Structure 1
């Protein structure tokens, strides 16, 4: 019994706080997901969707070798999972830790089983039955042309914003970023270090590279901390950080000494710099991650040619070759930083945007079997393999969840995500539970590649369950970090003073309290456990990376993953200072790859949407295999989201993106319900109406709050955010009422459930 108790929970000896362990949580989650797949998805397949392998799928009937192409179930599973699994399941749960781990955990498990996986599977079924058409075309078939126009405008708008948001995260991860530093922050050079000289670069900025060992004080009230790594600070041009001293005063002193008969005046160098307003810390990009991701493109081309041209049908051979080469690229990437190759893969922000845009355009135009499918299939190896390794590592290491179940200090919002726990925890955690973006994949590339209808259950429902599992392991990895470390990374440096009082309360309630012997070197081995890591130690262990103020969740997740991996491998007897560094950079690359595969599939989906809409004006545009139309549509879509990323205006729209994404899920569930009703399966409409009503209630509540907050700012940006949110809400509400009218028409006997409404819009 004692062993069981130790496995389930522990008690912090200093604070007396009861800490739940991660392994039992993971086991319960895995059981819930397995039960949902075994029973609920079987019910959906047999009764609700009525899947039948005797039906010929559009992939076979319309096979053109370009967009419609029958694909092996597991290859398509990899493509679909890679396409739907973007930043949401990784970043959302990490940010939601500020509310505590329990709300996010409950929403992830219940939401993915009863809402997200249901949406993905049934939208995929409806699209396969409609020749692989998009959500907008399904709206046209089920509700008429006016509904299709409303859906097309809303969806195209949302998907470009989504791609810009995802692209922005990739650019920050691979192309580096600049972290704002608070005015008044002081930096003191270590003894014996030479004063750094400014390194002017084109533009209006000077750059100072500060040596390791600097003492930093972020505000006059904060404690001094040591920075074990070198770091670069960008300041307005002509701003001297370290002056030689008070030269006028020294000259006056020298003149007085001369009048008295001579003497020596020493001008002491200033070793402490006080930063003015407008300073930033420059964080370089990841050449390791860029190299590995770049390698997956030629590897994917080789795998595609191997499966369909060199050795047709030899999926296992191609998988083994691709998997081996992908793992080799991951290992080889470790040698790129510091090598002559680094300058080719350490890209600037603008270079990363251009490279990302070119890749998105090419992936959207090339035949799906040549690049997109094989690359996503290979990426899924790394994604699913890493997730499986995380699950096993969590069970082996069994870390204590340092975050509280419910954080009472930040119930009304905090530094990682604004807004109250209800409804914003449901907006913060999007893709891990339910995401409208998934409905675009389920009615975009995937239905055009389904070989048999029975594959829909595995691909639609199963892939979404895996994404929910991704969200759970991300949440556990972040919850296992000490509160002090979590908030040191996630609080913007220039906002530290604003949240200092609340942070002190969090540390007092939920922080790690080291025993008195912690300062005794003789006891260091006993108290320096992963739960007691501070920011300085972690920065040193990951190779001198700067982590403070690296907001957005990606860096926090990388640190959490690396700590869990290190603990698990320590149980297996594998130790070393290099271990945490390796896992940290591996996690950064893993996150970027996770998001990038959503961008290439999303760009192709947006291209289909654009072509379907433009095809109503010029018929050839509506043909996916018409190369001029495909190229022009891809260029417009890619140019749109690249421009948003380049100008940074995505930051003006990001607060409403989560709401728009969830409203898209409401739209998808409403249209699937209409499809069920129109085809005589209205008795099963509750499987989609129930999650639709819940998501609608939480999202509309959040939408109203965002509109009031943004419009109250009385700024152009605020009015833009409010206007865009109102636009999306209006479009979705219109389609929702339109769909409800159709349901009532059939249920009251005023119309036939034959799936053929008036094409001009009558319900």
Structure 2
């Protein structure tokens, strides 16, 4: 509310007043060619890092997941239909196309589950991470060549309903179930020396690459791209400030979700292997001739991880780690 939302709104407002100039272009106008070139190059490097991280998340989510592949792929023709509908069939009918898009999106989610369990289509839509990676590269290249109104704007608009719907559903579940918060209000890591993140609020408030409290990625998107999509300058406050408030709501839901599980499980599942003092065995050999050896190594690292987390004051047993890992599909344990 006091940092990220203000930044997003101000960058969007200033960029709108400058005919949708990008962040680098505005630096160039105000400070000269050399600082502007440095800013543009820095933005380019940041975009590479951001896209690599976000693409990795998408690849990991869709790999070996026919349900996810079908649903995500279905949003492309749905978005194309919405773009053509708004452009040529019923211009300006945002409500109509929103209802149609949401209905089709829900249908794609439902039929994705049906197809995932189909003996033919399930395996046919199961892809490895490398295949997903090249598919994303191809999609990004093609979508960059198409008009914004045809694929980018309607697909992002459609995806927003899915994201907000999931978060609202999570919030309702929390309200209805009213779970107890098991993470202590204050831990020994309040000074910034925790096993997951090490550092104080400053500069971590600013240096998180994407979707941090003060996000550089948000500043890039708030300039250049978003101003060109505004119908009216008055919409900048709702989009720039309001969207960050929604993201803050997402962060609160994530914080609640992390706080209702056992602290020991949280640290065991989220701390990097190096932080737990373990070296993970090669899980790709689980089904090979070294399966027995890998299983024994896996048991050893689980025992060691449980002992390490318990020494921090958050008691956890190896059996709890293994069962939880099995339930959530965490292949580290």
Question: What TM bracket, shorter-length normalisation?
Answer: 0.7 to 0.9
The superposition leaves residues 532-571 of structure 1 with CA deviations (integer Å, 9 ceiling, x where unpaired) of: x94555566x5xx632537xxxxxxxxxxxxxxxxxxxxx
C-alpha separation between the residues in 1 aligned to 2:30 and 2:315?
A: 55
Give 1:336 shift: 2.6
C-alpha separation between the residues in 1 aligned to 2:314 and 2:268?
A: 14
* 498 and 157 in structure 1: CA distance in 2 versus 1, 3 angstrom threshold: farther
Alignment partner, residue 442 of structure 1: 222
* 423 and 142 in structure 1: CA distance in 2 versus 1, 3 angstrom threshold: closer
C-alpha separation between the residues in 1 aligned to 2:244 and 2:47?
A: 19
Dislocated runs of 4+, deviation >6 Å: none
Contact 1:401 1:476 (8 Å CA) reproduced: yes
| 2:281 is the alignment partner of 1:475 | no
Work out which of the residue numbers 23, 29, 42 in structure 2 matches 1:141.
29
Alignment partner, residue 125 of structure 1: 13
Contact 1:403 1:510 (8 Å CA) reproduced: no
Work out which of the residue numbers 100, 114, 125 in structure 2 matches 1:321.
100
Of Structure 1 and Structure 2, the greater strand share is in: 1
Contact 2:209 2:217 (8 Å CA) reproduced: no
C-alpha separation between the residues in 2 aligned to 1:136 and 1:475?
A: 34
Of Structure 1 and Structure 2, the greater helix share is in: 2
Contact 1:116 1:433 (8 Å CA) reproduced: yes
Matched residue SS, 1:371: helix
**Unaligned 5+ runs, structure 2:** 281-300
Alignment partner, residue 503 of structure 1: 309
**Unaligned 5+ runs, structure 1:** 1-112, 176-284, 514-532, 551-763
C-alpha separation between the residues in 1 aligned to 2:331 and 2:202?
A: 29
Number of aligned residue pairs: give it. 303
Alignment partner, residue 592 of structure 1: none
TM-score by length of 2: 0.83
| 2:39 is the alignment partner of 1:169 | no
C-alpha separation between the residues in 1 aligned to 2:11 and 2:213?
A: 16
Contact 1:123 1:443 (8 Å CA) reproduced: yes
Contact 1:174 1:290 (8 Å CA) reproduced: yes
Alignment partner, residue 292 of structure 2: none
| 2:330 is the alignment partner of 1:547 | yes
Give 1:397 shift: 1.6
Contact 2:9 2:240 (8 Å CA) reproduced: yes
* 420 and 122 in structure 1: CA distance in 2 versus 1, 3 angstrom threshold: closer
Alignment partner, residue 193 of structure 2: 412
C-alpha separation between the residues in 2 aligned to 1:168 and 1:435?
A: 19
Matched residue SS, 1:131: coil
The superposition leaves residues 46-83 of structure 1 with CA deviations (integer Å, 9 ceiling, x where unpaired) of: xxxxxxxxxxxxxxxxxxxxxxxxxxxxxxxxxxxxxx
Q: Which has the higher contact order (CA 8 A, sep 6+)?
A: 1
Contact 1:535 1:548 (8 Å CA) reproduced: no
The superposition leaves residues 363-392 of structure 1 with CA deviations (integer Å, 9 ceiling, x where unpaired) of: 212100111111111101111111122222
C-alpha separation between the residues in 2 aligned to 1:428 and 1:123?
A: 18
Work out which of the residue numbers 120, 127, 147 in structure 2 matches 1:367.
147
* 441 and 429 in structure 1: CA distance in 2 versus 1, 3 angstrom threshold: closer
Contact 2:8 2:219 (8 Å CA) reproduced: yes
Give 1:422 shift: 5.3
Q: Quick check: which has more Rg, 1 or 2?
A: 1
* 510 and 501 in structure 1: CA distance in 2 versus 1, 3 angstrom threshold: closer
C-alpha separation between the residues in 2 aligned to 1:435 and 1:169?
A: 18
Alignment partner, residue 160 of structure 1: 48
Matched residue SS, 1:364: helix
